[in-house]
Amino acid sequence: MRRLFLTIVLAVAAAVAFAADPPRATTKCGPWVVGVTETEMTVVWTSTERSMGWVEVAPDDGSHFYAVQRPRYDEDFMGRHVVSTVHHVRITGLKPGTKYRYRIYQQGVDDSGHNPVPSGYISASGVYKREPYAIRTMNSSKEDCTFTMINDIHGRDSMMLALTKDVKSQNPDFMVFNGDMVSFMGSTEDIEKGFMTRATETFATDIPLVYVRGNHETRGPGFSEYLNLFPTPTNTPYFTFRQGPVAFVVIDSGEDKPDSDIEYGGTAAYDAYREKMAAWLKQTLLSEEFRSAPVKIALLHIPFENTAGWYGPNELKRLVMPILNEAGINLMLSGHNHRYSYREAGSYGNNFPILVNSNNDKVNVRATKTQIDMEVVDAAGKVLHKHTVKVK
């Protein structure tokens, strides 16, 4: 009897202690902002514990963030607030070319039992002793478009820092990650440690990010988290967006090997995936919305090749290049090869030039209605190559 009583007492004490102390969640990595359009954006971050996440947004009108109660945007799914360690909150109803301040929140939740138990502790990004994060929406009426592109970092944090440390001061409209930012997606931590923690330290809290999936982002058990970490307006890794005079199309390479290769142990299905993407691409790029843009730029991790090469580039050349030619693409930017090259229009059936960036340099781009100027810059800040594409 005494043993039973003691067991009950301990069980009750444990239950009370557990209920009184659900997880205290704080920000682990982030935030960063993706999927920015003229009227929407998605704020993403990871937390130390499973939690509910939400975002407050304020106009950049000179008022203090605490001046009034700011609108709250929750991450909801099928009627419930999402409880996770990965948070992505879509903000809607914004105005074009407008700067918005934002603040992220998380509240730990123990949802292991029948009734979820929220923590009494709520953590948030600072807006009192420091300026809140701020993002400017896209603007199709802007006279130019500026952006910086890096690729093939493969988790090299030191190279990531060297190439992005001055991005925030240069203030481009957005930043492009053109694939293979990690070598293997084993977990969300691979993304955090490999480059995203550094990216949020240097620019990603305040400059929109455009992520082009590379073939290495398809590898590992963590690949399925890709769209949770980098959601897009289409809920696929391929999509379009507009900034200033430029319509952009982001294309997903898939893998560079055949589906039968041992790399995937029989789990790959990229042939069918690329066929589906090509059908979407043809319909989207022939739309009046895309064709009416004065300038058109394609972002694709794996470039087309002139000679008989690997399977993936050959398939992309067969499926994608004719569609881009027909759509009047003015420039394509790629990576993958770990070495720089510049392929002139007409080199091998391409009606547009292709700049392939190395894994140790960045490309700064400025586009107007009449031309696209590019400069390839190394980690020390030295300009290695310059190119100009005239837009007819």
CATH classification at residue 157: 3.60.21.10
2 within domain boundaries: no
**CB-neighbour burial class of residue 351 (10 A; exposed 0-12, middle 13-18, buried 19+):** middle
- Total Cβ atoms within 10 A of residue 46: 23
1 within domain boundaries: no
What is the residue type of 264? Y
Residue with tokens 């982001």, as numbered in its chain: 250
* Residues in contact with 238: Cβ distance below 8 Å, sequence separation at least 6, in sequence order: 232, 249, 250, 251, 252, 277, 280, 281
> What 3-state DSSP class applies to 17?
helix
DSSP state of 160: H
Domain count, the chain: 2
Q: Are 130 and 149 in a shared domain? A: no
pLDDT score of 271 more than 70: yes
6 within domain boundaries: no
Q: Are 132 and 190 in a shared domain? A: no
Cis, bond preceding 353 (omega within 30 deg of 0): no
List the domain range (segments joined by +) for residue 260. Answer: 145-390
Per the prediction, the chain carries an average pLDDT of 92
Chain-centre distance of CA 136, in angstroms?
16
Query: Does residue 223 contact residue 255 with C-beta atoms inside 8 Å?
Result: no
Q: Model confidence over 157-202: pLDDT tens digits?
A: 999 999 999 999 999 999 999 999 999 988 899 999 999 999 999 9
pLDDT band per the 50, 70, 90 thresholds, residue 8: low
pLDDT band per the 50, 70, 90 thresholds, residue 293: very high
Q: Are 288 and 181 in a shared domain? A: yes
Q: Are 370 and 244 in a shared domain? A: yes
7 within domain boundaries: no
H or E segment to which residue 109 belongs: strand 99-110
Q: Model confidence over 82-138: pLDDT tens digits?
A: 999 999 999 999 999 999 999 999 999 998 888 889 998 999 999 887 889 999 999
Q: Are 70 and 214 in a shared domain? A: no
Q: Can you tell me the distance from the alpha carbon of 188 to that of 208, in angstroms, rounded to the nearest whole number? A: 20
pLDDT score of 308 more than 80: no
Give mean pLDDT, residues 279-302. 95
Q: Are 85 and 230 in a shared domain? A: no
Q: Can you tell me the distance from the alpha carbon of 302 to that of 177, in angstroms, rounded to the nearest whole number? A: 13
Q: Are 187 and 164 in a shared domain? A: yes
